[in-house]
A and B are shown apart, each in its own frame.
Chain A
Amino acid sequence: MSDLLLEIKDVTKVFRIGGLLFGTELLAVDHVNLSLDKHKPSILSIVGESGSGKTTLAKIILKLHEPTSGDVLLEGKSVFGPHPDLDTLAYYRAVQPIFQNPFESFSMRKYVDSYLYDTALNLKIAKDRKEARDIIADALSSVGLDINALAGKYPNQFSGGELQRISVARGLIPRPKLIVADEPVSMIDASLRMNVVNMFLSLKEKYNVSFIYITHDLSTAYYVSDYVAIMYRGNVIEYGSSDRILTNPMHPYTELLLDSVPTGGKKWERHLKLPDIELKEYHNTGCKFANRCPFVQAVCRLNKPPPVQIPGEREVLCFKPVDYELGRTTPSQEPEKVTI
C-alpha cells in the first residue's frame, strides 16, 4: 500500500507551561515531516541541541506523547488519527525503543534477563517462558551475547556498553522494523561507543532493521547514518542525505554546529562570542535562528523561511538559498552555488 515504513506527517506538539490563565505555550515540535523507506532499511539521525525538540519527537514516534496535530503513519496505517488503524501492541511489535542511560533502564534489584522475558511475554511474542527463552537466546545471539552468560546476573555486573547491547537485544525480541534510539551512546565511554554504533550498522544489514538515531553528536551521526535531520527550536531546518549535509551544510545553523564539534583535525579559531539565548526564540514569527544568524536579512525576521527542495539531496528551511525572495519555494537548479 505504502512505500514508506514510517511517515511523520506535519507533526506539531505544543506544551503548556504555567497556569491556565497566565501560562505560555511552548512549541516543542513545529510541523515536522520526515519519512523512512520501507524497502531499503536505513538509519536516520535526528540531530539537535538540548531544547531542539528531538526527544519530544522521539517520544511521539514511540507513542509516549500524542502530537497536538499531525499524524504518524506506520506502513501507511495511522497511529494518531481519529480512527487509528494500529493498536499499541501491534505498534510496539514493529517499533521498539532504546533509551539513553543503560544504568537507569535496568532496575538494580532485578535480574537483567527478567526484562527480556517481560518483553517477550507482554508483547505476546511467546506463549510461555520456555518459548520465550528460545526467542531471547536468538535475540541475544544477534548482538553477540550468550543467554547463559546473563542468567542470574544483576545490571551492576555489566559495563555500560554491555547493558546497551542487552537493551538492543531486548528491542530485537519482536523482530521490529524500526528501532528508535534516544542518545544511546551518550552515557557510554568513548572506547566502547563504537561497538554499539557498529552493532546498529550490522543489524541494519543482517536483519533489515531501520533506526532512528537521536543524538547531539555529529561525528557518530555522520559515521552511522544514511539520512540526517537537523533540528532547531522545534523545526527540522535541514533534512536529507547525511553525507551531503554534513560535508556541505547549507543552513547557517548546521554550519555553526559542525564548526563547534571538537575534532582531532583543524584547531579552533581562538575567539567566539556566545549569544545570550532566550526562550523568546520559540516565539519568533520568522526564522527562529534569525537572532544568531550571520546571514540574516529583514525578510528572515518577519517571515517563516520556505522549505527549499534540492532534488535528490536535501530540504533546507532557509531564505538564503532562494536569495531571500518571498514566495519562491523552488530555487534555481544550482545547489552547489551556495558555498558559505
Chain B
Amino acid sequence: MLRLRDVKAYYETPRGVVKAVDGVTLDVRENEILGIAGESGCGKSTLLRAMYDSLEPPLKIVAGKVEAEMKNDRGETVTLAPGEIRKHWWRFISYIPQGSMSALNPVVRIEKQFFDAISSKHHLNNKREIHKRIASYLRELELPVEVLNSYPHQLSGGMRQRVLVALGTFLHPQIVLADEPTTALDVVIQKGILLMLAQVQEQMKNSLVIVSHDICVHYQITHRIAVMYNGKIVEIGPTETVFNKPLHPYTQMLIQSIPHVGDQKHREGISGRPPSLIDPPPGCRFAARCPFVMDICREEMPSLLEVEPDHFVACYLQREPLQARKGVG
C-alpha cells in the first residue's frame, strides 16, 4: 500500500521551478487497479516517479510525504519512507516503463537481464533453478520461452513490452507501476498487454497503477481512476462512476470529446490550453477553459471533496448542488 499526502514534486530548472506535481493526496489500495489519466504535461509520469522513489535531480519532493506499507518476509507490516522504498525495488515495488527498446539493454540477452535485475532480490542461488522458474513464469503468461535467448532487437515491440511486464512482475511485487505501457503499440497488441496486466493483477491480488492518456483504456481495465490536470488531481473515484457520472467539467468535456465507431454525434474538443506549470494561476487550473467558471474559481484552488461515497472532486460547482446537476451538455 502507498500513501501520498499533499505531495509536491518540483523540477528545478534554469527557467524556473516546474510544479509538475503540486499537492497530490492519494492512496494506492491493496488489490486494485488504479488508473491515472491526464494529458501530456499534466504531471502523471512525475507522480509515478514520486511513488517509485525515483527522484534524481532536478526532480525533488519539496513538500508532503510518500509512505509505503510493506509486508516483510515475516509477514509484519513495515512503513517505508522515500529513500527506503528504492531498496525494495523489484520485490516490493516494480516499474514498467513505456519505451521498451530503451528500457532493455540492447546488447544483453533477455535471460541475462532477468538475472541481473533480480539477482540480489531472491533467495535462490542455483542458476538452473532460477532459469526453470523464469521459464515457467513465461509459460504462465503465454510467452514463448525462446525469448530468453534473444536480444531485444530480435523481438517485436509488443513482445518486448510483454517481456518487461514479465520482468516487472516476476518476483510478485506488492505494487506494480506501469507508465503508458502501451504507447506506440498497435491496438491489437495494446489490448493483449492490458489484459495481460489485468490478469496478472487478478492472480497476485496486488496493486497495479497504470498511467495512460487514453481514458478509454482506464474504462476497460481499472477499478479506480484519478484524473489529473496541470499538476493536480481534479477528480478521483470508482472508474464506472467517474465514467458514467463525471462531476468535474474537465472530465466531462474530456469524455464527451471522444468519438466512437457507430456514433455520428458531433463532438467538440476543449478550446485553449493548460496553463504553464512554472507559473500556474492562483485559482482552479482549469478556470480559463471552463464554461462554468465563477469568480471564486479564479481566486482560490478548490480542494478535493467527497461528494458521494469514494467519489472526490475538486470543483466549486459541486458545493452548490443546484448548479452541479446541470453538468455539461
- A residues near B (Cβ < 8 Å) are 49-50, 159, 161-162, 189-198, 216, 218-220, 222-223, 246-247, 256-265, 267-268, 270-274, 276-277
CB neighbours of B186 from chain A (8 A) = 49-50, 216
The answer, among A220, A262, A273, for a CB contact under 8 Å with B220, is A262
Interface pair A190/B213, CB less than 8 Å apart: yes
Task: Please name all residues of chain A whose beta carbon is closer than 8 Å to the beta carbon of B194 when the two chains form the complex.
Answer: 262
List the one stretch of B16-24, B61-69, B264-272, B304-312 in contact with chain A.
B264-272
Q: Which of B15-71 contact A (CB under 8 A)?
A: 39-40
Q: Chain B contacts of A273 at CB under 8 A?
A: 142, 192
- Which B positions have Cβ atoms within 8 angstroms of A? 39-40, 142, 144, 156-159, 162, 186-195, 198-199, 213-217, 219-221, 243, 253-255, 257-262, 264, 266-271, 273
Given contacts A223-B267, A272-B191, A263 and B216 within 8 Å (CB-CB):
yes
Cross-interface CB contact of A268 among B189, B191, B193, B266, cutoff 8 Å: B191
Q: Given A262-B216, A268-B220, verify A246-B257 contact (CB < 8 Å).
A: no
A142 to B80, CA, bound (A): 58
Do B261 and A247 touch (CB < 8 A)? yes
Pull 30 A–B residue pairs with CB atoms less than 8 Å apart, ordered by A. Answer: A50-B186, A190-B257, A191-B257, A191-B269, A192-B269, A192-B273, A194-B267, A195-B269, A196-B269, A198-B267, A198-B268, A216-B186, A216-B187, A219-B260, A219-B261, A222-B262, A247-B262, A260-B187, A261-B187, A262-B217, A262-B220, A263-B216, A263-B261, A265-B260, A268-B191, A274-B162, A274-B188, A274-B193, A277-B156, A277-B158
**CB-CB < 8 A to A192: which residues of B?**
269-270, 273
Q: Which residue of A lies closest to B250 (CB)?
A: A191
User: What A residues does B188 contact at CB under 8 A?
Assistant: 49, 256-257, 260, 274
B260 lies within 8 A of A264 (CB):
yes
Top 5 nearest A-B pairs (CB, nearest first) are A49-B186, A274-B192, A194-B269, A223-B259, A262-B216
Most-contacted residue by chain B among A49, A223, A273, A277 (CB, 10 A): A223
Min CB–CB distance A42 → chain B (angstroms): 16
Contact yes or no, A257 B271, CB < 8 A: no
Residue of B nearest to A201 (CB): B266
Contacts of A222 in B (CB 8 A): 259-262
Taking the closest CB of chain A, its distance from the CB of B286, in whole angstroms, is 11
A268: chain B residues at CB < 8 Å are: 191, 195, 220-221
